[in-house]
Every structure is written in C-alpha cells, then in structure tokens.
Amino acid sequence: MRILLPYNTNLGEFNTEIIRGGIEKFCNQIVQTFNDVHILNIDNNNPIKENTTKIKDYAKKINADIIISNWGTASFAGAKIVDSEIPIMFISHGCIPFGSVLSTISRLREKGHAVYMVSKWQNNWYRQMSKRMGHPDEIKVDGYINSGYVQGKKPKLLPIEYDCCTIGRCEPVDKKPFLLKEWLQKWDYNTIVLTNTPTDKRGIKYLNRNSHWSGVLFDLKYQDVMKELSKSKYYFATMYIETWGITVLESLAHGVPVILRSKDGTHAAIDVCSDEKHYKLVSNNIELSEAIKSSHNLDRKEIQDMTWDKHSYDKWKSHFENCIDKTIENFKKRYPIKKYMS
C-alpha cells in the first residue's frame, strides 16, 4: 500500500519530534502506522494550481495507491485536484464556517473520492451549517476516523504538581491556550500552558498580549509535553468547537480527567471519554474554578485503563485500513479504465 501524504508546511515541514498541532500529529500517526508513506511538503501560500499539479504529478510518479489529504484548503481538496487519477481520501479535522467547505465535500464525493470526518458531532455541525446556508446537497460522509489512539506501554502516573493544564497552538481564535490563565486570574491556582512560539503576525500579537503570564512552556518535544501534562490534576480543553480532542485522549491516557469548554452543553470530546465521570463541562471562569477545586476522588488508574481499552492502536489501525480499502474499491468501481483496471 503506497500512500502519498501531502503535508501543509504552514507551521513547518514534517517533523516527528515537535508536534505543532492535531493534524500534524495525525500525519505522524499515518507515517508511523504504514510502511510505504511518501511525504510531499506543500506550501499553502503558493498558487493553488501549482500545488494541485505537484500533488497529482507526484502521486503518478511514485505510483501511489491513494492520496490521503488532511487539509480542506483548495490546494489539498479543492476543485483543481478532484480530477486526480489516484483516489483521494480526504479527512476533515475541523469545523470551518465557510460555504466553500460544503462544496468541497460534495465535489469530492461526486468525483468518486472519499470524505471522512473525525466525529458525528462534527458531521452534525456541518449539517446544521448547511441548513442555515441553504446548501442544495445533504452533507454525507463515508465514515468516521478517530483522531488518535494509545500505543506502547502505559505511562506511569506521576504525582500531581499542577491544578490544571492546557495544550494548544499559540493563536487567538480557536485554541486560545491563554484562556486558562485569563479565566483563573482571580484565583490562586497553579496552572501551566504548553504552547508554541508563533511565527505569524496574528499569533505573535496574541503572545505579546499574554507575555506577562508565568507558568508557560514553549516548543517542548512531544514526550516532554506529555510529562508535564501527566502531572496535572485536570486538563482544560479551551476549544469549544473541537471536533474530536486529541489532547483530551492524551490526558485520559495519562489518568488525567478533563474539563471541556462548552457553549451549548455538548462537546465532541465527550465521545473520547470512556465514562461520564471522566469529564466536566464548563462555560465560564466561575464554573472552571468550581470544577478544579471540586473533590478529586477519581481513580486515575481506572481512567487510564478504560481509555487504553477503548482507544487501542490495533483497533485504530484496523479501522483505518478498512477505510483506505473502501476508498480505493469505490474509486475503482467508478473509474475502471484508469489505473485500477482489473
């Protein structure tokens, strides 16, 4: 199985040590899972046609069986790439409030490619947006793929040093990692923010506004991020429109219960949790404070064990392989005279 994995270099080229975001981690998982994965770095700032031509030509050059695309921008999933002779498996990771995303989903499936999302919550979000915009097509997907899994040896449960922790890219719209500091500034909690040093203007401006906070660590290697996380009493997910919650999984896998920011009493990461006791929903600073200072009588070992059972690597890999096979088979049926002629 030869996979072409176009990689958006907006946050830096492919790197297995420093993980800058959820999609970047997901790409790392694909590389670690399958033996024949070819990374193609794509600068999303380059002209769309230049990028799509580069992807399609390289897929044919290496005789790829499938293109796995993880970004919804035009260079990775837009109108100029759907004529690819190699099937595209597009995995949507976010909730993008633009009508063009709805057209992208419909167009890809119309041309025989596959569209996957990471949760039913995410799919429902797009369906509601489609109704509001009066989009003519029903938003359908080929299935769902979990954003993450657990693998290897279970990490040791470390003594608690922090009341609460959060992890997030340094940007002011979606992740907003400094929301943890803002919401708890009236209380004397020991909190830690794990983030990156931004290079874009918006991120730099956001960091400058929040440079006064203590308890912030930048650009740690993945294993060091996990070590700090595991020393926290709770993990706070600042993004209320999270589509799955990879950091939530990482927290639970280390026996750390989670607090989920919500505006409507729901959150996609609820489905990541193995039991309702493992999470709390909050909508403001007072609720966050109350959640942190509430009695912490949860069995961290039980949280960890249940999470590892639900999100095992073997289950994730088997499902992902089935999704790839389904994508290729459906494309072969639609275009039997192309590469997939029997």
Instruction: Kindly report, residue by residue over 144-197, the tens digit of the pLDDT.
Output: 999 999 989 999 999 999 999 999 999 999 899 999 999 999 999 999 999 999
Question: Do 122 and 21 share a structural domain?
Answer: yes
CATH code of 84's domain:
3.40.50.2000
β-bridge partners, 90: 69, 115
**Domain span at 118:** 2-148+313-334
- Take residue 140 and report the two structure tokens written for it: 């359908």
Is 206 a domain residue? Answer: yes
CA 118 to CA 146: how far, in whole Å? Answer: 5
User: How high does pLDDT run on average in the chain?
Assistant: 93
Is 153 a domain residue? Answer: no
Average pLDDT over residues 123-141: 89
Question: Do 53 and 42 share a structural domain?
Answer: yes
Is 339 a domain residue? Answer: no
CA 82 to CA 182: how far, in whole Å? Answer: 44
Query: Rounded to whole angstroms, what are the CA distances from 279 to 33, 235, 298, 312?
Result: 29, 9, 11, 20
Is 154 a domain residue? Answer: no
The answer to whether the beta carbons of residues 135 and 102 sit under 8 Å apart is yes
Question: Do 90 and 47 share a structural domain?
Answer: yes
Question: Do 275 and 136 share a structural domain?
Answer: no
CA 215 to CA 211: how far, in whole Å? Answer: 11
Question: Do 81 and 25 share a structural domain?
Answer: yes
Task: Quickly count: other Cβ atoms within 10 Å of residue 72's Cβ.
Answer: 21
Question: Do 233 and 134 share a structural domain?
Answer: no
What's the pLDDT score for residue 74?
A: 95
What's the pLDDT score for residue 5?
A: 97
Tell me the Ramachandran region of residue 215: left when phi exceeds 0, alpha when psi lies from -120 to 50, beta otherwise: left
Neighbour-count burial for 259-298, b at 16+ CB within 10 Å, e otherwise: bbbbeeeebbbbbbbbeeebbbbbeebebbbebbeeeeeb
To the question of pTM greater than 0.85 for the whole model, the response is no
Query: Rounded to whole angstroms, what are the CA distances from 198 to 207, 216, 315?
Result: 8, 14, 35
Token pair 């029903």: residue: 138
Which H helix or E strand runs over 260? strand 258-261
Question: Do 276 and 195 share a structural domain?
Answer: yes
Is 340 a domain residue? Answer: no
C-alpha angle with apex 223: 217 to 227, nearest 5 degrees? Answer: 65
Please tell me the total count of domains within the chain.
2
Question: Do 168 and 300 share a structural domain?
Answer: yes
